[in-house]
Chains A and B, each alone.
Chain A
Amino acid sequence: MKNEPDAIRIIFDNCTGCTLCTRSCPFGAIQMMDKKAVIDLSKCNICGACVDTCKFKAIEIQKGRESKKDLTSFKDVWVFCEQKKGVVQTISFELLGEGKKLARKLGVKLCAVILGSDIESKIDELSARGADKIYIADSPELKFYQDEPYTNVLVKLVQEYKPEILLCGATTIGRSLVSRVAITIDAGLTADCTGLDIDEKERLLLQTRPAFGGNIMATIITPNHRPQMATVRHKVMKEAEIHKAHKAEVIRKKFEPGDLRSRTTLIDIVDEIEETVNLTEADIIVSGGRGIGGTEKFSLVKDLAKVLGAAVGSSRSAVDAGWMPYSHQVGQTGKTVCPKLYIACGISGQIQHLIGMQSAKVIVAINKDPDAPIFKVATYGIVGDLFEILPALTKEFKRVLKK
Chain B
Amino acid sequence: MHIIVCIKQVPNTTDVKIDPVTNTLIREGVESVVNPFDAYAIEEGVRLKEKFGGKVTVVTMGPPQAENALKDAISVGCDEAVLVSDRKFAGSDTWATSYTLSCAIKKIGTYDIIICGKQASDGDTAQVGPGISTHLDIPQVTYVKKIEELKDNKIRVERMTEEGYDIVEAPMPCLITVVKEINSPRIPSLKGMMKAKSARITKWTAEDIDCDPDCIGLQGSPTRVVKIFTPPQRKGGEILKGDASEVAVKITELLKDIVL
A complexed with B: yes
Q: Within 8 Å CB of B143, what residues of A?
A: 172, 176
A contact patch SS: mixed
B95 touches A384 (CB 8 A): no
Q: Which residues of A contact B14 (CB under 8 A)?
A: 350-352
B175-209 interface (Cβ within 8 A of A):
179-181
Measured CB to CB, the closest approach of chain A to B130, in angstroms, equals 4
Known: A273-B164, A381-B239, A382-B251. Contact between A65 and B225, CB under 8 A? no
Q: Give complex CA distance A191, B99 in Å.
A: 17
Report A-chain residues with C-beta under 8 Å of the C-beta of B165.
270, 272
In whole angstroms, what is the CA distance A264 to B16 when docked? 40
Cβ-defined contact, A219 with B225, below 8 A: yes
Contact B223 A400 (CB under 8 A): no
Which of chain B's residues have a CB closer than 8 A to the CB of A293?
none
CB distance from B177 to the nearest CB of A (A): 8
Give complex CA distance A196, B141 in Å. Answer: 29
**What 0/1 readout, one digit per residue, does chain A (373-396) give for beta carbons within 8 Å of chain B?**
001111111111100110111011
**Across-interface contacts of B226 in A (CB, < 8 A):** 47-48, 206, 219-221
- Contact residues in A for B220 (Cβ distance below 8 Å): 65
CA of A190 to CA of B91 in the docked complex: distance in angstroms? 15
By beta carbon, the residue of chain B nearest A209 is B124
B153 within 8 A of A: no
Contact B122 A212 (CB under 8 A): yes
The answer to whether the Cβ of B110 comes within 8 Å of any Cβ in the partner chain is no
With contact pairs A175-B126, A179-B131, A212-B11 given, residues A332 and B36 touching in the complex (Cβ less than 8 Å): yes
Number of interface residues of A (CB under 8 A): 120
Kindly list the 7 A-B residue pairs having the minimum CB-CB distance in the complex, ordered from nearest.
Answer: A188-B222, A42-B63, A5-B90, A28-B27, A179-B130, A272-B164, A191-B125
On B, residues with C-beta under 8 Å from A are 11, 13-14, 16, 18, 22, 24-28, 36-37, 62-65, 87-88, 90-91, 93-95, 98-99, 121-127, 129-131, 133-135, 139-143, 145, 156, 158-171, 174, 179-181, 214, 217-231, 234-242, 244-245, 247-249, 251-252, 254-256, 258-260
The 5 sampled A-B contact pairs (Cβ below 8 Å) are: A173-B161, A183-B131, A218-B228, A279-B162, A326-B180
- Residues of A bordering B, CB below 8 Å: 3-8, 23-29, 41-49, 61-62, 64-65, 84, 147-148, 151, 171-173, 175-176, 179-180, 182-184, 186-192, 206, 210-225, 263-273, 278-281, 284, 308, 326-327, 329, 332-334, 340-341, 350-352, 355, 358, 361-364, 370, 375-385, 388-389, 391-393, 395-397, 400-401
